[in-house]
Amino acid sequence: MNFLFLLIIAAVAAYLLRSPLKAHPSLFYSIAAMLVLLYFFGATFGVPRWLWMPLVDLIQKCELAVALFAVVMLIGCLGKEQTLYRRMKPIRAELSIIACILCLGHMAVYLGSYLPRLLGNASINSNVAVAFGVAVALFVLLALLGVTSLGIVKRATSSRRWTRIQRFAYLFFALIFCHLALMLLPAALHGGVAAQESLFVYTAVFGAYGILRLGKAVAERHEETQEDASATPAIAIEEEAAVGDAA
């Protein structure tokens, strides 16, 4: 399944369903969990091919989860004054939790496949071994970020601490790209067209995020500097007036 096409569908669906998602997040979490269970059912007992192939793309290959994470990433690149940002920001946590649930199917499949081989000292490609190590780090961050995205946990955590934890999302997004690149690069270098196309799209999406997010950070820092500069004369005038009154 074309990831870029899936990303567009995910973004449009998130926008159209933002109100029910915010009002009834548990319903959407349940749907995500049912998709994962359906995938495991299909892997164990079999399902028609027309159903199995989308499940492989969406769940086993983790494309739907990555698409939702990409939507969350790109929302963060929007200006705070923009209408789209104000409409989409309230559901970033819910989208992240749905993506975390969908990741479980992907992780379970490949953990069961590669962990016995690594523990048994079986021959394994170095790229795959490094990608597996990155996947372990992703799992830890996924658990940390997913749990702290829950409303009940957020309310029980101080704002400062919660913000510090959520900053790990930048590392999480970077490791997602590293994991994807490590898995796709060998096939891409050997002429695999599908791998080359996927690697190009992922590089474009994550590269665009990096540029846009960095640009937003620079713009916000510039605005803060200007606000501090404009506030300084006012403070000085107030201090002079206070000295004059005291005299």
Tokens representing residue 190 in the block: 């050997």
CA-based nearest residue to 143, from 174, 179, 97: 97
| Buried/exposed 56-81: b ≥16 CB within 10 Å, e otherwise | ebbbbbbbbbbbbbbbbbbbbbbeee
Instruction: Give burial (CB, 10 Å; 0-12/13-18/19+) of 149.
Output: buried
pLDDT of residue 229: 64
**Site of tokens 């394994």:** 124
Between CA 60 and CA 103 the distance in angstroms is 9
pTM: 0.83
CB atoms within 10 A of CB 38: 16
Got the DSSP string for 70-81? HHHHHHTTS-TT
Is 105:36 a contact under the CB 8 Å cutoff? yes
Tokens representing residue 27 in the block: 């319903």
Give whole-number Cα distances, 112 to 1, 100, 115, 119, in Å: 24, 18, 6, 11
Please list the pLDDT of the chain residue by residue as tens digits (247 residues).
588 899 999 999 999 999 999 999 999 999 999 999 999 999 888 889 999 999 988 988 889 999 999 999 999 888 888 899 999 999 998 999 999 999 888 888 777 766 666 666 656 667 677 777 888 888 888 888 888 888 888 888 888 888 888 888 889 899 999 888 888 888 888 888 888 888 999 999 999 999 998 888 888 787 777 766 665 555 444 544 444 443 3
